[in-house]
């Protein structure tokens, strides 16, 4: 049996980034290193680099998120980037969207333990909840899928003129180029690559930003959205 890796002490940058929520960030890191590994949500090899590669890497995404908006973290998994984002931004209303029960169980436990009243956990796939969840200003994601596929799931959840922020690595520029046609069909009007966390994480985190116009998801999803809205109205009348 492999001996569990030890969680290193929090780096000084974490105190600055998480501020008043630093103790909660430490507790979350401990939960990932213990229950997260035991339940197969993260690999044991990730424990020594939890702070730099995961918590801080995700927390700095807050630099790209506007103030006071609604956020849906698609394929939230163990809560990355949604929970670090929630710890540094209590002005946001965040939904953690995840289809697997063992992950949503963990997320619910974390949200309750850390007192994240501005976070809601929803079990389901993005394509299943469209029309059931209110459209959001921002969709976030990390290590979920290639950009073209991720956009198919995430963009239809946006409200008009919203944006998708996807944490990516060295392949960001290549993925953006290869997904250009798909993004256009999904109603994207602008794309860019951002680098956030300068001086906090090395290298800075790479974020692909996709902004949409008045029809998130494009023509393909307009009918689905309308049908979901009609179904919702019928259910409410009943």
List, as residue ranges, the binding site.
Answer: 75, 80, 126-127, 142
Token reading at 182: 């798909």
Q: What is the DSSP string of 61-83?
A: GGGGSPTT-EEEEET-TTTTTHH
Distance between CA atoms of residues 106 and 88, nearest Å = 20
Partnered with residue 166 across adjacent β-strands are 141, 208
Torsion of CA 108, 112, 113, 116, to 10 degrees: 110
CB atoms within 10 A of CB 170: 8
The DSSP call for residue 203 is S
Distance between CA atoms of residues 54 and 157, nearest Å = 25
E strand or H helix at 5, and its extent? none
Q: Is the CB of residue 5 less than 8 Å from the CB of residue 47?
A: yes
List the binding residues for S-adenosyl-L-methionine: 75, 80, 126-127, 142
70 phi/psi in degrees, rounded to 5: -95, 140
Q: Look at the block and give the residue holding tokens 């969207």.
A: 97
């Amino acid at each position: 049996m492999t001996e569990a890796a030890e969680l290193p002490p929090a780096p000084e940058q974490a105190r600055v980034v998480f501020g008043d929520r630093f103790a909660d960030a430490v507790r979350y890191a401990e939960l990932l290193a213990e229950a997260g590994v035991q339940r197969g949500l993260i690999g044991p090899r990730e424990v020594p680099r939890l702070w730099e590669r995961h918590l801080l890497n995700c927390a700095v995404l807050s630099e790209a998120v506007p103030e006071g908006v609604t956020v849906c973290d698609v394929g939230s998994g163990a809560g990355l980037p949604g929970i670090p984002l929630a710890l540094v931004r209590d002005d946001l209303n965040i939904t953690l969207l995840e289809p697997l029960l063992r992950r949503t169980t963990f997320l619910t436990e974390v949200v309750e333990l850390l007192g994240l009243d501005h976070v809601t956990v929803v079990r389901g796939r993005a394509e299943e909840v469209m029309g059931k969840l209110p459209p959001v200003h921002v969709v976030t994601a990390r290590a979920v899928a290639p950009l073209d596929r991720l956009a198919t799931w995430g963009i239809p959840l946006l409200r008009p003129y919203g944006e998708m922020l996807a944490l990516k690595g060295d392949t960001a520029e290549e993925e953006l180029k290869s997904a250009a046609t798909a993004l256009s069909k999904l109603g994207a009007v602008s794309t860019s690559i951002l680098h956030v966390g300068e001086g906090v994480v090395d290298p800075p985190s790479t974020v692909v930003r996709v902004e949409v116009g008045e029809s998130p998801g494009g023509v393909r999803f307009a009918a689905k959205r309308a049908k979901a809205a009609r179904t919702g109205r019928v259910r409410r009348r009943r």
